[in-house]
Amino acid sequence: MSVKDSLFGEIVTINSHIESDAKDVSAELIKDQNKTVVFEDLNGGKAAGNIFSTREKIAKALNIPRENIVNHLLDAINSPKEYEIVEKPAFRQCSMDIDLMKLPIPKYFPEDGGRYITSGVIVADYKGKRNVSFHRMMIMDSKHIAVRLVPRHLFTIFNMAKEKGEELNISICIGAQAEVLLAAATSTDFGADELEVASSMSIKGHGHPLRVGKCDNGINVPANTDYVLEGRITLEETKEGPFVDITGTYDFERQQPVIEIDWIWTCKDPMFHLLLPGGYEHFMLMGLPREPMILKTVRQAVPRVKNVRLTEGGCCWLNGVVSIKKNKEGDGVNAIMAAFTGHPSMKNVIIVDDDIDIFNDREVEWAVATRMQADRIIKIPGAAGSSLDPSSHGKTTWKVGYDATIPVDADRSLYEKARL
């Protein structure tokens, strides 16, 4: 399933020519982020954004109900499946001259360091350690990219190669299917294969394993990707940034490694996936894959957990809601502490009973308003939080948990809404 096959819901088409450095791309994407926007001529190529900007669109792409997304992801993480290697993958149908400046890659905001690939998933395979992960990539010139490497798995693999004086072969995938994007944003054990996590989701949702094809550099990547850029993370460094992160505020400039591109593959009539920084789609693809980890850790503390949600108002990163069915008093507090363990970047979490629809902000706020008093607020000072939270200034943070569950020994009729 390529980008073109993932255009669900209402679609807005922009037919006019748009230059890569114009403000028009972000302006069109921001107008209504629930709608998918297709650009017929962005710097001479086709592109689309807001593709996976809602849970409903993601569920449609996965072929599952919206409420099952978190369990679908967690099951795949716990039970990865082998993928299927195909001889003629769609991404190898065409090749093109190596000139990144001619691709439909925009500059999203005025103070950005340059034009950015935002939906790019990097696949690396080095001495038996494979990794598939998201990284923002700033275009430097026709064949060089500055890549932001957060100190996680790809950073570790790159440094393994760097210690031996070697460059790291990679393939950059743009326009991959939803299963691949979600798997690339999950937290797996070092050395686990995220493509097998994606394959598990594909089998459960579509009845067949993920199909992959081999690049000339020997790396396996999703077969139905629109663009595949083969290259190397070199031993050179350059300035990367500033750039807008998930909170909608600017991240600062850093010294980061340089990628050199060796080959560009595409499917026929490719469509470039645009991911608006700090937008709804950014929330979904970065934040939603953290929810299975919260579900897992809360289940270890409280057996009956109905669902987990990182809220859009908290950028799907800083604020969360968990619905549980209590066995005993104190389960709400235990759920708070476990939720913070599952997602250490989370700053605020609300625990509600299982009769509350956690995807309805009004119901969650109603639970806080009618089922708790301030003495049931848990405050944790001096905790390590998210570097993306501007209010923490990169230092420690206060974490706050709200136990908005009905006391076990209470008369529940006093807390429940009247029904017809």
CA 342, distance to chain mean position in Å, is: 16
Closest by CA to 311, choosing from 355, 362, 275, 277, is 362
* φ, ψ for residue 183, nearest 5 deg: -65, -40
Closest by CA to 325, choosing from 416, 408, 410, 400, is 408
Beta bridge partners of residue 48, listed in sequence order: 38, 273
**What's the CA gap between 108 and 282, in Å, rounded?**
13
CA distances (Å), origin 76, targets 71, 182, 200, 402: 8, 11, 5, 30
Tokens 């807008």 sit at which residue? 244
CB atoms within 10 A of CB 331: 22
Which amino acid does the sequence have at 252?
F
In DSSP notation, 153-198 reads HHHHHHHHHHHTT--EEEEEEES--HHHHHHHTS---TT--HHHHH
Establish how many alpha carbons lie within 13 A of residue 390's alpha carbon, considering only the half-sphere containing its beta carbon: 11
Whether residue 104 has a cis bond before it, omega within 30° of 0: no
Buried-state track 242-263, b at ≥16 Cβ within 10 A, e below 16: bbbbbbeebbeeeebbbbebbe
Catalytic residues: 245
Establish how many alpha carbons lie within 13 A of residue 248's alpha carbon, considering only the half-sphere containing its beta carbon: 12
Closest by CA to 159, choosing from 77, 237, 94, 261, is 237
* 3 state SS of 227: strand
**What's the CA gap between 204 and 101, in Å, rounded?**
39
- Tokens for 247, please give them: 């909170």
